[in-house]
Amino acid sequence: MRFSERNGFAPVRAAPITSRLEASEELRSVAVNTALESGVKPDKLRELLCRMLQKRPDPNNWSAGNVETEARGLLDDAQWYEVYDFIELLASLRGYHQESFQRDINRYFFVNGIGWSVDSSG
């Protein structure tokens, strides 16, 4: 929980639902950022995206920064519903801070009027 939330300075308020059948550029970026902050490594993001989207990883990308850029590009090019598929996949993934990812992505959905949520079942 953030300092501002713990101390009552920034209560979380639900925004009216304005988005269901789209995935903005911001949401795509937030999904990657939240996964990285939750402990998912760039190579794992790329592996999951390539498998899900049936794409071949770029063999010329091997450094973490380049792999992250490739993963972001794959998600940027994905259909809106594939973005939510990816978010659900991350929410069900074991071996990292899954609860943190779910909490933070759901908070983003809640305050930005996105009419979806995720839990451990995806």
> Beta partners for 114?
19
What's the structural domain count of the chain? 1
What is residue 63's DSSP assignment?
Answer: S
Domain that holds residue 28: 22-112
- Domain contains 7: no
Q: Given a cut of 90, is residue 96 above it in pLDDT?
A: no
- φ/ψ bin of 29: left (φ > 0), alpha (ψ from -120 to 50), beta (otherwise): alpha
Q: Is residue 120 part of a domain?
A: no
| pLDDT class of 10 with cuts at 50, 70, 90 | low
Residue with more model confidence, 6 or 113:
113
In a domain, 15, yes or no: no
More confident residue, 67 or 5: 67
Q: Is residue 79 part of a domain?
A: yes
Residue at 94 is within a domain: yes
pLDDT of 12 above 70: no
Q: With 90 as the cut, is the pLDDT of residue 116 above it?
A: yes
Whether the per-residue pLDDT at 122 is higher than 70: the answer is no
Tens of pLDDT, residue by residue over 19-65, are 889 999 999 999 999 999 999 999 999 999 999 999 999 999 999 99
pLDDT score for 18: 82
* Residue 80, domain member (yes or no): yes
User: Is residue 3 assigned to a domain?
Assistant: no
119 lies in some domain: no
CA distance 74 to 82: 10
Among 85-89, 111-115, 116-120, the minimum mean pLDDT is found in 116-120
